[in-house]
Amino acid sequence: MLRTKLSLAAILMTCASVAQIDYVSEPAPTLFSSHTITMNLCFDTDNFKAVSLEDMMNLAVDPNQVERDLTGLEAAPRLSTTGASAYFNYRFDPNPKPDNGTINTEISVGGSVVGDKEAMLSYQNKDLDTSIVYCSIHKEVGLEAAFLLTGLLGQHAYWSVGIGGSGSMTYDNNLLVLSGRYFGPDEHPSNQEGISMESYSARPMYFGRVFLQHNIGFLAGKHWMLGMQFRQGVGMQQISGGRSNTFTHSSLGMVSVGYRF
């Protein structure tokens, strides 16, 4: 009888001890609470309001070398430049919340590399079958940052919208002067037969851009993210030692791949 009472007392004491334990549930996972590294590939396009002969002369290290007789020729500027681009970003959420339908904030910082971009100014005379073309070719490297709002669409899709800014400078700068026959709007002068081409050193340029950014994609497993990113904005170009120009900016076909730690 005494042994039974002692056993019951031990059981009651164990239950009381268990009842006093505070169990802390595991926090709900968050979409971007961990750090994320992304790579984006796309085509960047800048649409300028104007491209002038003064701009081309300012680009030349020695303007006297690129002077040509333009008598009787009509200017035909090409106002857009496009280049293949790669963006590398580090993204994190400074104040993560559970994935229960809430919207998280996200900060993205990174850099970019842009391939050859051409700015072209043609002087043409169709009757004389003559063209003189100034062509600026450069590459870009830059830094950027963005503030985004992010959220989930169901269990496997995500979205984000926000605003960002970037600064970049050019390298491998060249100014080409091409002389040859008249070419139509859809022709590129460098592909023509019998054209002469002279290459000169060009000054660097600096770019500042602000843009709206939106992403949509899917969560592939626990760590991988696959999606698309789109950007639209405005910017300013500053020629070293010269004038500045404004333009509109867009990034199309940006394929985004991310890995969450």
More confident residue, 188 or 130: 130
Q: Residues 90, 92, 98, 102: is their CA dihedral positive or negative?
A: negative
Q: How many CA atoms lie within 13 A of 27 on its CB side?
A: 8
Tell me, yes or no, whether 233 lies in a domain.
Answer: yes
Mean per-residue pLDDT for 98-124? 86
> Does the structure show a pLDDT above 80 at 14?
no
> Does the structure show a pLDDT above 80 at 165?
yes
How many structural domains comprise the chain? 1
Tell me, yes or no, whether 249 lies in a domain.
Answer: yes
For residue 77 the two structure tokens come to 């500027």
More confident residue, 199 or 96: 199
- How much is the pLDDT for 261? 81
Burial class (CB in 10 A: 0-12, 13-18, 19+), 6: exposed
pLDDT in tens, 153-164: 888 899 999 999
Q: In DSSP terms, which residues pair with 165 in a beta bridge?
A: 145, 210
pLDDT in tens, 15-63: 444 444 444 444 444 444 568 899 999 999 999 998 999 999 999 999 9
- How much is the pLDDT for 6? 40
Which of 83-87, 112-116, 194-198, 206-210 is predicted with the least confidence, judged by mean pLDDT? 194-198
pLDDT in tens, 62-108: 999 999 999 999 998 989 999 999 999 999 887 766 555 578 889 99
Tell me, yes or no, whether 115 lies in a domain.
Answer: yes
Question: In the chain, what's the furthest Cα-to-Cα distance?
Answer: 123
- How much is the pLDDT for 87? 96
> Does the structure show a pLDDT above 80 at 185?
no
132-161 exposure pattern, b = at least 16 Cβ within 10 A, e = fewer: bbbbbbbbbebebebebebbbeeeeebbbe
- How much is the pLDDT for 101? 56
Q: What is the mean pLDDT of the chain?
A: 84
Tell me, yes or no, whether 45 lies in a domain.
Answer: yes
**Confidence at 192, pLDDT banded by 50, 70, 90:** low
> Does the structure show a pLDDT above 80 at 239?
yes
Question: Would you say 151 and 158 are in contact if contact means Cβ atoms under 8 Å apart?
Answer: yes
Tell me, yes or no, whether 19 lies in a domain.
Answer: no
Tell me, yes or no, whether 65 lies in a domain.
Answer: yes
- How much is the pLDDT for 229? 92
> Does the structure show a pLDDT above 90 at 149?
yes
Task: Choose among 105, 32, 106: nearest CA to 261.
Answer: 32
User: If you ran DSSP here, which 8-state letter would residue 181 be given?
Assistant: S
Range of the domain at 212: 28-260
CA angle 134, 191, 183 (to 5 degrees): 65
Tell me, yes or no, whether 101 lies in a domain.
Answer: yes
**Confidence at 199, pLDDT banded by 50, 70, 90:** very high
**Confidence at 225, pLDDT banded by 50, 70, 90:** very high
More confident residue, 98 or 172: 172
Tell me, yes or no, whether 17 lies in a domain.
Answer: no
Helix, strand, or coil (residue 207): strand
Question: Would you say 148 and 165 are in contact if contact means Cβ atoms under 8 Å apart?
Answer: no
**Confidence at 241, pLDDT banded by 50, 70, 90:** confident
